[in-house]
Amino acid sequence: MTLSSILVWIVLGLIAGLLAKLVVPGRDPGGIIVTIVIGIVGAVIGGFIGGFLGLGAVGGLNLGSIVLSVIGAIILVLVLRAIRR
């Protein structure tokens, strides 16, 4: 993995995490690092779902990858909130 691909995953994670937290408002602990981690894990989840449904995978900073990542991050936020209750 190159430095540029790591930076792309971090930026994608930040975008996806922020959008997921905007779509699913509520009190969530953590700052920007937690948001980035939620976005990155959401991208992995979204890529798995996209591959399973034949929509493609997450690969770079493009609209399809961002949409799949946000969907995955939303799912992750909802699951984390359900577990925390």
pLDDT by residue (tens digit) across 10-34? Answer: 888 888 988 988 898 777 767 888 8
| Overall average pLDDT of the 58-77 stretch | 87
Nearest to 42 by CA among 6, 3, 12: 12
Instruction: Tally Cβ neighbours within 10 Å of residue 22.
Output: 10
Instruction: Tally Cβ neighbours within 10 Å of residue 41.
Output: 19
Token digits of residue 59: 């690969």
Decide: pTM greater than 0.95: no
Average per-residue pLDDT for the chain: 85
Cα 52-25-21 angle, rounded to 5 deg: 50
Q: Are 36 and 73 in contact (CB under 8 A)?
A: no
| Model pLDDT, residue 72 | 92
Q: What percent of the chain has pLDDT over 90?
A: 11
